[in-house]
Structure 1
Amino acid sequence: MIRIVFDTDCVACSRFVRFVLDHEIDARCQFISAWSQTGSDLAIRQGHDPRLYEISFMVLDRDRALVKSDAVLHIFTSLKAPWRWLIVLKYVPKVLRDAVYTFLARRRYAWFGRRESCFISPASLRERFVEPEGSRPVDCGR
């Protein structure tokens, strides 16, 4: 199981989660709100300040925690072709990949928008999402 901790208020991030759901090889990703207590606890447990989520998301696979471009590349390994082939980007130097990632991440709200509690899982996929109690399905980012 790959756990993806993402910014649920970010329209671009929510669309990326929908993209992953639509293109996964199998249903092995679990999604967690970065702004939930679970998201905060996971950041701390992995040695990160929870403010990490202001500029990155986190991917957890077994005992590995990945952020920025490494997190994106790891997700690509879970996708069907041709999206899976994007893992060739691992040959781009990490410092360059992370610089591009950070540039985009810092501008994501301005370019794509932000909504309070933008992404909450659809009922048919509820078991794939760790959500706070009382959440309701919302379709945003489509």
Structure 2
Amino acid sequence: MSDEAALFRRIAGSAFDAMPETLQHFHGGPDIRTSAGRCRVEVGGSPVARFLVWLLSLPYATDEAPITVTLRREADREVWIREIGGRRFQSVMHRTNSNLLSETIGPVRFFFRLDTSTEGFSLYLTRCRVLGVPLPRALLPVVAAREVSNGSGIAFDISAGLPLVGLIVAYRGELTNSEVPEGERPGQPVMLFDGVCNFCNGGVDFFLKRDPFGRIRFAAMQSPRGLTFLLKHDLPTHEYKTFIVLDGERIIRKSDGVLHLTGYLSWPWPLLRVFSLVPRFIRDRIYDLFAQNRYKLMGKRDVCRVPTAAERERFLL
């Protein structure tokens, strides 16, 4: 997809070209890109602030924490995944008919005016909806967001609060201009699977066909990249008792891994995540029964799966 399809370029128009190159690269680059850095997080002291931070999976207060930001372009929208100190929250952005930037976080939808300059840009909240209901101006959240170039990367300063409540969360820091490699990007999970297992390869086919935006990557555990991942995360390299999902810094196994991947599939497959309400020990017991008998049930191959030309970009070899 071309740079012309980038969300911020479509909103800013020709003013996008006046912004620093580091911001243009991040907001107008490839369809999937991830940058990493460090940040400081402040959380409001009120019970309401702490509850909202927990409810929306916002980051906890810390003087310094690693941050990764993954920006994934999907048709006319962008999915942003921020991981700060092990806490992950996601938002979806798109352009409205009135050329505002719409950002949805859980049940809340914000509408921002984008102001650009030669230093960077700022976002100004114009209105907000909760569960589709517009908030009166007196109850609008107080949101400030700014990005500027610091020469080699991006400096950001974001805060959000509520009238009568005060600060909810604020985080500020820097992102480097270097790209996080595949296999380490939040929001672009890697499925590590037994490459000679027919049952496992059937699972790969299932996810390949139902992942409309090509977000999931695949690596056979026996492949060079698969072994690299296993060694990096101190995982067994000879006994493949479960497939493993890597999503950013997270390592997800067994039934949790299956349910996690369904969240990346087309409708109605994400509804399967309702089974996360079933206690894990029950789900994993069922999973283990299949895993222990997978060769008996479906057989095995003599050699690992070789992806077709059409599949190659989805496999890490």
Question: In the alignment, is residue 68 of structure 1 matched against residue 254 of structure 2?
Answer: yes
Mapped pair 1:18 → 2:205: yes
CA distance, structure 1, for counterparts of residue 276 and residue 192 of structure 2? 21
Aligned-pair CA distance for 1:40: 2.2
C-alpha RMSD of matched pairs (Å): 1.3
Q: Deviations over 1:59-102 (max 9, x none)?
A: 01111011111111111111112221111110110111111111
Query: d(CA) in 1 for partners of 2:249 and 2:198?
Result: 29
Is 1:86 matched with 2:272? yes
Please list every run of 5 or more consecutive structure 1 residues that lacks an aligned counterpart in the other structure. Answer: 132-142
Contact 1:24 1:78 in 2 (8 A): yes
Which secondary structure does the structure 2 equivalent of 1:56 belong to?
coil
Flag the structure with more relative contact order, 1 or 2, with Cα contacts below 8 A and sequence separation at least 6: 1
Show the counterpart of 2:25.
Answer: none
**Cα drift, residue 38 of structure 1:** 2.2
Say if 1:11 and 1:118, in contact at 8 Å, map to a contact too.
no
Is the 1:9–1:116 Cα contact (8 Å) retained in structure 2? yes
- Separation in structure 1 between the aligned mates of residue 230 and residue 304 of structure 2, nearest angstrom: 21
Is structure 2 residue 222 aligned with structure 1 residue 35?
yes
TM value normalised by structure 1? 0.85
Deviations 1:13-69 (A, max 9, x none): 11111111111131111110111232222123223222452x101101111011111
Partner of residue 100 from structure 1, selected from 286, 296, 304: 286
* Deviation >4 Å, runs of 4+: none
Q: 2:269 is matched by which residue type in structure 1?
A: W
Quick check: which one's helix share is greater? 1
Which has more radius of gyration? 2
3-state SS, counterpart of residue 21 of structure 1: helix
Q: How many residues align?
A: 130
Distance in 2, matches of 1:102 and 1:52, equals 14
Give 5+ residue unaligned stretches, structure 2: 1-187
Identity %: 34
What residue is the counterpart of 1:130 in the other structure?
316
Equivalent AA in structure 2 for residue 92 of structure 1: V
Residue number in structure 2 paired with 1:5: 192
